[in-house]
Structure 1
Amino acid sequence: MNTALITVAMAVGAYLLGSISFAVVASKLFGIADPRTYGSKNPGATNVLRSGNKKAAIATLIGDAAKGWLAVWLAVHYQEQLGVEDIAIALTAIAVFLGHLWPIFFRFVGGKGVATAAGVLLGLNVWLGLATLATWLIVAYAFRYSSLAALAAAVFAPFYYGLLFGVDAILIAVVAMSMLLLFRHSANISNLIAGKESRIGSKAAAKKK
């Protein structure tokens, strides 16, 4: 099969996988309100945690990270067998991330992509993922702001990749992913500056259906 078609198929498959919103799925399974209706209205683990249901939040976190990891791991694992270039991996990485941000299954209303980005980075390289996760954890523990931790991780991720692997097509995808993360957190940046940002663990009214 033509490698260009394989690359396109990989990207499309990754986008569809990314379009599965585990925040919405987990909320339905645990009988809590749709996360798009309370708190920040963001279908992500942090907002699901505001419902007070830690199990649903953990399920969301694992699911969103796992889909990013799986899409990229498969691309990396089968790259040689499929005969595709690094651009295929780069497109797969950004496609699964875009699927989470703008999911076709949920009217293109998705999350901010932190967990999925972490999964993507772990799929690319374990040390890259762990370094970025460590950055998130350190900032989150020190300041108790999930958004600030995500912003710091987004800034450092391309730096870590460049340090480990240099400049290539995949680095461009990591940079694009980081820029999209910053864009998706624009409201959080304004709230942080104004001192209105919610801290990790703060609850919002989320009634059961």
Structure 2
Amino acid sequence: MIATIILMVSVAYLCGSLSSAVVISRLYRLPDPRQAGSQNPGATNVYRLGGRIPAVLVLVMDILKGTLPVYVSYWIGIDAVALGVIAIAACLGHIFPLYFGFKGGKAVATAFGAMLPIGLELGALLIFTWGVALFIWGYSSLAAIITVALAPLYVWFIKPLYTLPVAMLSILIIARHRANIVRLLKGEESKVWNKQGKLKSDSQP
């Protein structure tokens, strides 16, 4: 089983390394999201650079990068803590993509995808939380931080066995947002509907 876990961790990292934002931007002949806009290769930045359709495609691909390796691992019987490590590997692939110079995004959508195998009710709660936070404050980064911070609490009530792996994942995503947290505290964070490419403060939903 250890060999299987190592294999799935590797697969998860390689899946995560496929930068959806870069691929979709190239297909739609958009500026490289790593060099334009917020310089964050995520769905929010692609939305600012190219509109809704490319952003939705990026979002779906990023979610699948987390869902597929975790779901396959769950299906073959890998235990909860190891599933958390596999989920983190997928997110690390997104954050430090092997194929794209190790310059990636925040991994929020990939983390969301990694949590989906726990249950659709969790997915619904996460989407609801993100949507409400975004509606109230208008900051994608703040919405993401609030959502992942609450994720372990939601999991505790839905499937307590997975609370620890989800907490591990949440800590990674919040740590990845440290620069956003500083900007939020300084009042320098931009809101999601601001399409001015020069701003450098988004977070992939």
TM-score for the superposition, normalised by structure 1: 0.89
1:193 aligns with 2:185: yes
Q: Distance in 1 between matches of 2:71 and 2:108?
A: 18
> What is the aligned residue count?
198
Letter in 2 for 1:21: S
Other-structure match for 2:83: 89
Letter in 1 for 2:115: L
> Of 116, 126, 147, which aligns to 2:141?
147
Q: Distance in 2 between matches of 1:146 and 1:101?
A: 17
Q: Distance in 1 between matches of 2:197 and 2:129?
A: 30
> Of 163, 167, 174, which aligns to 1:171?
163
- Superposed CA deviations along residues 145-202 of structure 1, whole A, max 9, x for unmatched, are 1011001001100111122222x4x433211211111111111112112222111121
Residue 11 of structure 1 contacts residue 95 of structure 1 at CA under 8 Å; is this kept in 2?
yes
- After the TM superposition, list the runs of 4 or more consecutive aligned residues in structure 1 that deviate by more than 3 angstroms: none
Q: How does 1:18-97 map to 2 (within 5 A)?
A: 18-79=16-77, 84-97=78-91
Q: Distance in 2 between matches of 1:192 and 1:57?
A: 23
Q: How far 1:45 sits from its partner (Å)?
A: 0.4
1:120 aligns with 2:114: yes
Residue 43 of structure 2 contacts residue 55 of structure 2 at CA under 8 Å; is this kept in 1?
yes
What is the RMSD of the two structures over their aligned residues, measured on CA atoms?
1.5
- Superposed CA deviations along residues 96-133 of structure 1, whole A, max 9, x for unmatched, are 11111111111211110111111111123222222112
Of all paired residues, the percent bearing the same amino acid is 39
Letter in 2 for 1:58: V
- Secondary structure in 1 aligned to 2:30? coil
Residue 145 of structure 1 contacts residue 200 of structure 1 at CA under 8 Å; is this kept in 2?
yes
> Of 121, 124, 133, which aligns to 1:130?
124
Q: Distance in 2 between matches of 1:91 and 1:184?
A: 17
Q: Distance in 1 between matches of 2:143 and 2:15?
A: 25
Q: Distance in 1 between matches of 2:120 and 2:92?
A: 21
Which structure's CA Rg is the greater one?
1
Q: 5+ residue gaps in structure 2?
A: 199-205
TM-score for the superposition, normalised by structure 2: 0.90
> Of 7, 10, 31, which aligns to 2:8?
10
